[in-house]
Amino acid sequence: MSTDQVMVFSVLGAMLAFFVWGGWRYDVVAMLALLTMVVSHLVPAAEAFTGFGHPAVVTVAAVLILSHGLLKAGVVDSVARYLGRVGVHPTIQVATLTGIVSLCSAFMNNIGALALLLPVAVWMSRQAKRTPSFILMPLAFGSLLGGTMTLIGTPPNIIIAAYRAETHAPPFGMFDFLPVGAGVTFVGLLFITLVGWRLTPRREERVSNKEELFKISDYITEIRVPAGSKFAGRSVHELLSSAMENDAEIIVTGLARGEGRQQAPSMYEVLQQDDILLIKADAESLDRLMDMAGLEPTRGLSDVGHDEKVEDSEINVIEAVVAPESSLIGTTAIGLSLRERYGINVLAVARQGHRLRDRLGRIRFVVGDILLIQGREEALRTALTELGCLPLADRGLRFGKPRRILLAACIFGFAIVSAAVNILPASTALVCGAVLMVLVGLISPNEAYESIDWAIIVLLAAMIPMGHALETTGASQLISGKLLELAGSLSPVATLAILTIGTMLLSNVINNAAAAILVAPIAISLARGMEASADPFLMAVAIGASCAFLTPIGHQSNTLVLAPGGYRFGDYWKMGLPLSILVVATAVPLIMWRWPP
């Protein structure tokens, strides 16, 4: 083994260790690994950042913009509105939801498809008086299966298509993945519908509605502004600021003045004598507030304090889940000044089915946290969009511009057809579609940039030169040589199965796009060593990279349902392991049939 090969394996090994650790973002880790290779002269400095212009990276960015345009236009949501009619039988609900999310994931970002159907799934399970845990994991797995069917269904397919060009063959086309992907998806959905959902854990401690998960009346109190209070004639903002200075964490959720009622009053509302404030606070903070401000408790709750009165025509109290790319992650509600910036109150936080009892100012949000948020509908719409949160089980809150479904579908169809019949290269066709969506006003330029998951873009751009370093240093040939020794005593079917399983296991602990980039050069070297076509080996990598069913960290879809479903880390393999075995057993024969070695 040469010095360069030792260095490549050392850098990649360290990178994988950091991926598994998860303490640093994967795009930061990938960029540090790339820079290390550049400094070590494993990657030429002139080629260090060529990944940003790679067709696969451009295609992924275009797909993300197109997916956002479809969501904004209401294409997926228009289908979701009819799902309430499928009844309450669990098998029918699972079959319908997983089928739709799979179909959507074939043509758009699977996280986006899952995000649209996640609130519907929670609502349907609650209507049927069942825990959401029975349906959310099947929904996440369905989104992964659907992505295997087309070029744009998932980033690994786009990457694998680009790697095929290195074998002196044209890149895979839009529907070249369909024969294998459709078979895998069909068998997977059949298993999930008939057997799989029965293997999901039943988190009976999960409650059926937000009144039970978040018992607002248990920790909201009415206090009155008496004569002589130093805050009579001063604003709500001054009251909150003084409370914070005295280490009293409070939220003003309502105000009653005479016959008038205000939910989530303005921060600049001036308090008057005999105003009644609805205060969310723990006992310690409430005592400090009354001592500091000279306020006094009322004898009981008035209309403004009842749970059923909290939601009216102007004010909503909704649940929202923190999405994987939310700006809330790692921060607190107080640190972001959510009330001042967006006019919303975070009343409570639940994690894995249980409301957190810590003071809100001390809770740092993580992916999948469920927040109970109060605010006016317009403020909620703006805040949730900008903060990267998804409304949960509340279909009344519509995001974006008025629906322009037909226009969005036509633009998307134009991009797909242009790529499918080779009028334009896939990257060019999809970029044209994304630009058209901006030009016709389906999304704004700012929304287009915001819809791109820049962490994925940086990851891909950093990983592509490292994938090439595997080839130029001979590291991929070294690995493939070891595999060839093993394959000498195995059939081609067994070799493909091993490659698929190895990629699948890798994608369960690191990002699936990174897994595809790392294994694709090895697959090409293995094919050359066997003097066979690289197509079946690349297809095996594509399937393996897209089917991460064993852990919640293998794919963002799995992470997104972790907390709403009340799942634990070890829950995923119970349905994921038999599904993974079934995927391999289905994919390998289909690959051999469609892409013989």
Which own/partner contact pairs does 59-63 have at CB distance under 8 Å and 24+ positions apart? 59/152, 59/158, 59/426, 59/427, 59/430, 60/155, 60/158, 60/456, 60/457, 60/460, 60/513, 61/434, 61/452, 61/457, 62/427, 62/430, 62/431, 62/433, 62/434, 63/108, 63/109, 63/152, 63/158, 63/430
**352-366: string of b/e by CB count within 10 Å (b at 16+)?**
bbebeeeebeebebb
* pLDDT (tens digit per residue) in 39-94: 999 999 998 999 898 888 999 899 889 888 887 777 666 666 666 677 778 888 89
In a domain, 321, yes or no: no
State the distance between the two ends of the chain, measured CA to CA, in whole angstroms: 29
Interatomic CA distance for residues 526 and 486, integer angstroms? 11
* pLDDT (tens digit per residue) in 213-250: 555 444 567 778 887 788 888 888 888 888 877 777 77
Q: DSSP per residue over 467-525, as a string?
A: HHHHHHTTHHHHHHHHHHHHHTTS-HHHHHHHHHHHHHHHHTTS-HHHHHHHHHHHHHH
**pTM attached to this predicted model:** 0.73
Q: What confidence score (pLDDT) does residue 79 get?
A: 63
In a domain, 489, yes or no: yes
* pLDDT (tens digit per residue) in 52-67: 988 889 998 998 898 8
475 phi and psi, to 5 degrees? -65, -40
- The distance between the two most distant Cα atoms of the chain, rounded to a whole number of Å, is 91
In a domain, 497, yes or no: yes
In a domain, 395, yes or no: no
Q: Which of 197, 51, 38, 220 shows the shortest CA–CA distance to 121?
A: 197
Number of neighbouring beta carbons within 10 Å of residue 12: 18
* pLDDT (tens digit per residue) in 376-424: 777 887 888 788 787 775 444 444 444 577 888 899 999 999 988 888 8
In a domain, 26, yes or no: yes
Q: Which residue(s) pair with 374 in the sheet?
A: 317, 345
User: What range defines the domain where residue 536 resides?
Assistant: 3-205+411-594
- Residues in contact with 387: Cβ distance below 8 Å, sequence separation at least 6, in sequence order: 326, 327, 328, 342
Q: In the chain, how many domains are there? A: 1
The number of helix segments (H) and strand segments (E) in the chain equals: 25, 10
- Look up tokens 């999948």; give the residue: 368
- Look up tokens 């078979």; give the residue: 183
In a domain, 397, yes or no: no
Interatomic CA distance for residues 378 and 311, integer angstroms? 14
In a domain, 314, yes or no: no
Higher confidence at residue 502 or residue 565? 502
144 token code pair: 């992964």
Q: What confidence score (pLDDT) does residue 326 get?
A: 79
Beta-strand relationship, 370-376 and 354-355? unpaired
pLDDT over 90, % of the chain? 25
In a domain, 357, yes or no: no
The SS3 assignment for 251 reads strand
